[in-house]
Amino acid sequence: MLRILFVLVIGAFALNSCSTTDLVSQLGGKEWNVTSILGKTLDANESMKGLPSVNFGENGKLFGSTGCNNFNGSFKLDGTSLTLDPGAITKMFCPDSYEQDFLSAVKQVTNVKIDGSTLNLLNGTNPVMTLVPKVK
């Protein structure tokens, strides 16, 4: 009986780590453009510097643009639980950017879900940000 329980526990850990690894591979290697924040659709024409963007790098590195300034921080992914820390942020002045909305939303993210080519950052099951891969 203990052997069966041991095998089940090890199997559960293995499945969880596989799903996290798969999710990391789906997130990495591309730049994600933010298309909506808290239900508000973003328009690149409304901001001098364009849309906020996010890159998930190796070893939990997170970097991108707030739509005005660049950031360099970290992320932690455990299953579908996700925490984001934008870390260091440059300090340019941009009066017409999405920066404050983006930075406020980043703090609310607790989960991640990928639907096709759309990345949904969630707070529980509530949408916080929607992102799509940048077209090159």
pLDDT digits (tens, 9 = 90+) for 97-123: 799 999 999 999 999 999 999 999 999
Per-residue pLDDT, averaged over 22-51, amounts to 89
What is the predicted pLDDT for the residue at 10? Answer: 40
Is pLDDT of 93 > 80?
Answer: yes
For the residues 81-94, what does the mean pLDDT come to?
95
Which residues does 69 contact at the CB level (< 8 Å), separation at least 6? 89, 90, 91, 92, 94, 99
Strands 61-65 and 70-78: antiparallel
Number of domains in the chain: 1
Q: Which residues lie below 8 Å from residue 15, measured CB to CB, with a gap of 6+?
A: none
Tokens of 17: 């780590």
Mean per-residue pLDDT over the chain, rounded:
86
Q: Which residues pair with residue 31 across a beta bridge?
A: 55
Q: Give the chain as a 3 state SS string.
A: CHHHHHHHHHHHHHHHHHHHHHHHHHHECCEEEEEEECCEECCHHHCCCCCCEEEECHHHEEEEECCCCEEEEEEEEECCEEEEEEEEECCCCCCCCCHHHHHHHHCCCCEEEEECCEEEEEECCEEEEEEEECCC
Does the pLDDT at position 12 exceed 50? Answer: no
**Full residue range of the structural domain in which residue 55 is found:** 2-133
Q: Per-residue pLDDT averaged across 16-32, rounded?
A: 76
What mean pLDDT is predicted for residues 83-98?
91
What is the rounded distance in angstroms from the CA atom of residue 28 to the CA atom of residue 16?
Answer: 18
Task: Specify the CATH number for the domain of residue 57.
Answer: 2.40.128.270
pLDDT of 11 strictly over 60: no
| pLDDT attached to residue 1 | 54
